[in-house]
């Protein structure tokens, strides 16, 4: 994921999306969460699609009741993931784009953030982290 090529990053997250959730260990989940905070320019290249896919993976971890990976995600990384999702969503909504392709990338990222936040807001382990975040959403 640290390779500067967007196509490689997108291929990696596509592969991660197909890995069974039970195979994610704590360090791998931590790496995925760190990736969220590492993107300063969310409009560069295919960053929106990379981030969107990461949010879909985290949404699956949010809903995973069977493996330790889901529990680890919710207990150890849920608060940070929600904070990053809200931050990225706000930054994405503030972006002004005129190119139709960029608008679709922006939309894909917003939709994935909203879906992730929707699932965290109904999860008993995670919804407590939603109430104190970002005045914009209260």
pLDDT at 6: 87
Residues 8 and 17: their CA atoms lie apart, in Å, by: 14
Q: What percent of the chain has pLDDT over 70?
A: 93
Write down the domain spans for the chain. 6-137
Residues 14 and 67: their CA atoms lie apart, in Å, by: 21
81 Cβ contact list (under 8 Å, min separation 6): 33, 36, 58, 73, 116, 120
- pLDDT, tens digit, for every residue of 71-96? 999 999 999 999 999 999 999 999 99
Q: Average model confidence (pLDDT) for the chain?
A: 91
- pLDDT, tens digit, for every residue of 44-53? 989 999 999 9
* Per-residue tokens: 6: 């967007």
């Amino acid at each position: 994921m640290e390779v500067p090529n967007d196509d490689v990053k997108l291929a990696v997250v596509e592969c991660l999306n197909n890995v069974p959730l039970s195979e994610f260990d704590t360090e791998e989940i931590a790496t995925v969460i760190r990736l969220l905070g590492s993107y300063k320019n969310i409009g560069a290249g295919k960053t929106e699609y990379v981030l969107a896919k990461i949010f879909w993976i985290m949404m699956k971890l949010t809903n995973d009741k069977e493996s330790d990976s889901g529990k680890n995600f919710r207990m150890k990384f849920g608060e940070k993931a929600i904070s990053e999702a809200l931050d990225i969503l706000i930054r994405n909504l503030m972006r002004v784009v005129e190119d139709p392709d960029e608008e679709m990338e922006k939309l894909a990222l917003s939709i994935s953030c909203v879906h992730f936040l929707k699932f965290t807001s109904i999860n008993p382990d995670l919804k407590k982290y939603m109430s104190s975040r970002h005045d914009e959403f209260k």
